Amino acid sequence: MQVPEKYASMIALYREWNGRINVVSRKDIDQLYAHHILHSLAIAEYVRRFCPGAFAGARILDLGTGGGFPGIPLATEFPDAQFTLCDSIGKKIRVAQAVADGLGLQNVRCVNARAESLPETFDWVVSRAVTSLDNFYPWVKGKFRRSILYLKGGDVNAEISELIRKCHVEPGKIRTWRIDEWLEDKYFEEKFVIEIGKDYLCPPVFEN
C-alpha cells in the first residue's frame, strides 16, 4: 500500500518509539499505516462526507488515545482544530507526546488523566474501540457539544442496543457508517464509524 509522504515521518517515529515502549503490537507494526493511521483517518473521511468544515477551529478530545490514535493522524489532517489526547496510562501518553513533538504538531496537547477529571467541554469526542459503547458514553456524556465519533468493529448493532437501553440515547441520534465504503480492503470489513450526536447528527445546520 502506497504511503503518502506526509505520513512517512509519523511511521518512522512510531517505529522508533515502539522499540522502547510497546504501544502497537510487534506483529502489527509493519501494518501501521493501514491498520492504525488509515483506520484513524476514517473519521476524517466521515467528517468530510457528512459534515464538511465541522472540525474547523473545533476543540476535540481523543479519549483513550493510547499512543496517539486516532488523534495524531486527525491532527495532521486538521491543523486548525485543537486536539486533546487523553489516556490514563502514562507511558502511552509519553509516546503520543513524543510523536506529536517529533512531527511539530502545534495543535496537540497530551494529558495523562481519566475522562472524569478533565474540567473542559469539547466540541467533539473521538475514540477508537476503547470499550463498549454503553461503558464509554457515561465517561463523556457531559463533555461534548456536537457528537462522539467512535471507531468500532464487530457486532455494533448489539452494542448500540445496549447503549440505547442503558444510557437512554435516542436511536435518531446514532448513525453508523461502514468504513469499507471508503477503503475497499478486507481489514475494514465490519468496521464502522459510529456517530452519537448530542442534539442532532451531521450534517450541521449552516448559518448564513
What DSSP string describes 47-107? HHHHSTTTTTT-EEEEET-TTTTTHHHHHHH-TTSEEEEEES-HHHHHHHHHHHHHHT-TT
Q: What is the mean pLDDT of the chain?
A: 92
Sequence letter at residue 52: P
For residue 101, is it within any domain?
yes
Task: Flag whether 109 is in a domain.
Answer: yes
What pLDDT, on the 0 to 100 scale, is given for residue 7?
Answer: 94
Q: Is the pLDDT of residue 207 over 70?
A: no
User: For residue 30, what pLDDT band results from cuts at 50, 70 and 90?
Assistant: confident
Which CATH number goes with the domain that contains 91?
A: 3.40.50.150
Lowest-confidence range among 27-36, 124-133, 172-181, 183-192?
27-36
Give how many domains the chain has, as a whole number: 1
Residue 202 falls within a domain, yes or no? no
> Could you tell me the pLDDT band of residue 3, with boundaries at 50, 70 and 90?
confident
Residue 168 lies in a domain: yes
Edge-first strand listing for the sheet containing 82-87: 108-112, 82-87, 59-63, 122-128, 144-153, 191-197, 174-178
SS3 breakdown of the chain: % helix, strand, coil, rounded to 5?
45, 20, 35
Q: Residue 164 and residue 144: Cα distance in Å, rounded? A: 18
pLDDT (0 to 100) of residue 182: 96
pLDDT at 208 over 60: no
Range of lowest pLDDT (23-32, 86-95, 108-117, 158-167): 23-32
Query: What pLDDT score was predicted for residue 38?
Result: 96
Domain of 166?
A: 5-197
Is the pLDDT score of 129 beyond 90?
Answer: no
Assess if residue 163 is contained within a domain. Answer: yes
Question: What is the C-alpha separation between 21 and 18, in angstroms, rounded?
Answer: 5
- Average of per-residue pLDDT across 111-120: 92
- Decide if 108 is inside a domain: yes
Can you read off the three cell numbers belonging to residue 160? 448500540
Query: What is the full DSSP assignment across 131-163?
Result: S-HHHHHHHHTTSEEEEEEEEEES-HHHHHHHH
DSSP three-state, residue 27: coil
Domain assignment of residue 207, yes or no: no
- Convert the pLDDT of each residue in 37-54 to its tens digit: 999 999 999 999 999 999
For residue 203, being part of any structural domain is answered with no
